[in-house]
Amino acid sequence: MGQLLNLRVFDSFESLVVNLSEAISLQINEVLSKKDHFSLVLTGGNTPRPLFKHLAQNYRDKIPWNKIHFFWCDERYVLHSDPQSNYGMAKELLLDNVPINPANIFPMPTSFATPAEAAAEYEKTLKSQFDSSAPHFDLALLGLGEDGHVASLFPHQVTMSEKSRWVVASISSKEPLQRLSLTFPVINRSEMIYFLVTGENKADPLRRALSKERIEIEDCPARGVRPVDGEIVWWVDKKAARLVE
């Protein structure tokens, strides 16, 4: 039985950010009432920027930031100081503005000779933080690309069918071309997945991602996000939800 769709539609991006921030805070505090730390996967791209700013400005004292272990779902293969770096963006907008424990920040490395070596290194990092069965993130924040990609798993690429590696190198059609990405086996071990999808340009990819029609994962990688035991909540604004039946 497929999971029931949990789609939350907001009139504006601003109201989405306010409600999503509160949900993230509640989720973190709920889990930390039972565990000593919280493993959080951050997404990159532009969508999460207002969310990271809002969390830094309004949740500095409402979330025990020092108990959060930060990971990334993907990265552009550029220096962390590059304006296109997902880690660099999160550091500027969130991590530098809340009391995190630097030992708990696990950026994807981008200074190896090749992305494949960096992917292998990040897999070692994940294995050092989780027992080697598979990582089990408490919450993964994911975005949706206009082509239906998720993390840096792009349509018609072999990386999507990866079943054993936890982290792969991939090639984007947009600069920066070289990327690192978690794979579906790892993403789908998350306890909770929040998709953040906003804007008119995401109406069609969201329609395809949620459609009951037979659309292959090859053609819309976001359809490959199927948590084994966890849940997905789609946080979308009205513009992005325009075509959802």
The one among 25, 45, 82, 165 contacting ligand 6PG by CB under 6 A = 45
110 with 129: CB under 8 angstroms? no
Closest CB to ligand 6PG among residues 47, 178 = 47
Least Cα distance to 180 among 107, 91, 102, 104 occurs for 107
For position 230 contacting ligand 6PG by CB under 6 A, the verdict is: no
Name the DSSP letter for residue 29: H
CB of 43 to ligand 6PG, least distance (A): 5
100 with 71: CB under 8 angstroms? no
Residue range at the interface with ligand 6PG (CB under 6 A); choices 45-53, 93-101, 185-193, 212-220: 45-53
10 with 16: CB under 8 angstroms? yes
The one among 41, 68, 151, 193 contacting ligand 6PG by CB under 6 A = 151
Closest CB to ligand 6PG among residues 31, 160 = 160
Which residue bears the tokens 């090749």? 114
Least Cα distance to 165 among 198, 134, 202, 197 occurs for 134
Closest CB to ligand 6PG among residues 149, 239 = 149
- The residue whose Cβ lies closest to ligand 6PG is 143
For position 110 contacting ligand 6PG by CB under 6 A, the verdict is: no
Residue range at the interface with ligand 6PG (CB under 6 A); choices 11-19, 130-138, 141-149, 210-218: 141-149
For position 43 contacting ligand 6PG by CB under 6 A, the verdict is: yes
For position 47 contacting ligand 6PG by CB under 6 A, the verdict is: yes
Which burial class, exposed, middle or buried, applies to 99 when counting CB atoms under 10 A from its CB (0-12, 13-18, 19+)? exposed
The one among 27, 39, 85, 86 contacting ligand 6PG by CB under 6 A = 86
For position 74 contacting ligand 6PG by CB under 6 A, the verdict is: yes
CB of 23 to ligand 6PG, least distance (A): 18
133 with 127: CB under 8 angstroms? no
Closest CB to ligand 6PG among residues 31, 207 = 207
**Alpha carbons 105 and 126: distance in angstroms, whole number:** 12
CB of 213 to ligand 6PG, least distance (A): 22
Least Cα distance to 195 among 154, 145, 161, 136 occurs for 145
Q: How many CB atoms are closer than 10 A to CB 123? A: 18
